[in-house]
Structure 1
């Protein structure tokens, strides 16, 4: 069911720049026409669009390099700007499928990740926390990931991440990790849907400002 829903969402999102014309509108209290409208936030290497509907619904789409994201929900006027609250969504997650002991090298913990689909494994990372409190972030390869384990290591904490989409999973504690192979699955679910919760877009001289991926997006109203 998740894969079917994900295919539907991706179909809904692509191409991103047609999202605003195809997303459904739900009845909400109308906002001032002077604020409602379509806004263009495109800049070098980035395409971004925001629609603030007069019905209180918003639609948002962004394409930045190999990353595409979109969102839809409700917006409200607030002093200093507008606030976005997304529709419910199912975020991506990581699942531990199983553990094998003795099938890996004696001085490493081996991680295998399935279900990445069209996403190269190199986009995924593992956040490793050791017993002494030190933390490191290691990138996957096509073969998986091997984490060196010092002799006598009693346990590690392993968390998965997909930094490109700001996805981070819950950490898993691995006791006595040396020589183990852990198998994980990635469930994309609503990957690409940006969940806004009481997100304030500041207004300045009729422009709306949004911080994404270390860049400031300036949305300017499109005049017919």
Structure 2
């Protein structure tokens, strides 16, 4: 992990290349509630949030631009955009991007098992198909989550399942497609493709990082990252 942290540190320092990347709006985290104030030069600098099994870096430029990188388990994410100083912390807003998307290529009736709806993932953006899941919601309010294997999933259905809602997901990157209604699902086959686009670019939308004793706190993947300023 020390090697990955060194790579990320070099990546942050060389970040002009990241200006070519673009992110997508996502739900905002709670931001510090206060009046926006000017960002003092003392706040600008590079911050290290690395800890066991995690490498994380945040650079706050005096020009109001930020660069961010995180490597945690199988996930590598990054972001660029603008930052502003607020009482109680800072707020990040990412540059524009094209988010990952799931596309329904087509539906066939009678081509699958008669007591199931079959989902096919024909394009997976060069990612292992085992990383993808399907979220199935039934009319009675119950749901099923199933993982892809060999590019297909069979979801058992009964006579009472006259309408399903199906969303595909890439949980490791917090990506979920729009729900697709599937009337009379028995025996149907649905064919999907995944478009990676700017996969890995973390979009911050008025996301607040609270300040504590000169450090900035960010929650990602159920863990709190503490960014500490690196001495010049």
Matched, 1:159 2:167: yes
SS at match of 1:20: helix
Secondary structure, in 3 states, of the residue corresponding to 2:51?
coil
**SS in structure 1 opposite 2:118?**
strand
**CA offset at residue 16 of structure 1?**
4.0
Question: Who is 2:13 aligned against?
Answer: 21
Question: 1:158-197 counterparts in 2 under 5 A?
Answer: 158-197=166-205
| 2:81 aligns with one of 73, 77, 92 | 73
Is the CA contact 1:111–1:184 (under 8 Å) kept in the aligned structure 2? yes
What CA distance in whole angstroms lies between the structure 2 residues aligned with 1:152 and 1:135? Answer: 14
Offset at residue 121 of structure 1 (A): 1.3
What is the CA deviation profile of residues 122-181 of structure 1, one whole-angstrom value per residue up to 9, with x for unaligned ones? 111111111111122111112411000102421110011111001111000011111111
Match of 2:133 in 1: 125
Give 1:63's aligned residue.
71
Matches within 5 A, 1:1-224: 16-24=8-16, 31-224=39-232
How far did 1:19 drift? 2.7
Q: 1:118 and 1:80, CA in 2 relative to 1: closer, same or farther beyond 3 A? A: same
Structure 1 portions without partners, runs of 5+: 1-14
Q: 1:164 is paired with a residue of what secondary structure?
A: helix
SS in 1 for 2:55: strand
Which residue of structure 1 aligns with residue 25 of structure 2?
Answer: none
Mapped partners of 2:66, 2:222: distance in 1:
23
Separation in 1 of the partners of 2:87 and 2:172? 32
Shift of 1:101: 1.4
- Structure 2 regions of 5+ residues with no counterpart? 1-6, 20-37
Structure 2 residue matching 1:122: 3-state secondary structure: helix
Shift of 1:189: 0.6
Q: 1:75 to 1:100 in 2, by over 3 A?
A: same
> TM-score under structure 1 normalisation?
0.88
When the two structures are superposed, what TM-score results if normalisation uses the length of structure 2? 0.85
Distance 2:159 2:67 in 1: 53
Deviation at 1:118, TM superposition (A): 3.1
Offset of residue 223 of structure 1 = 0.3
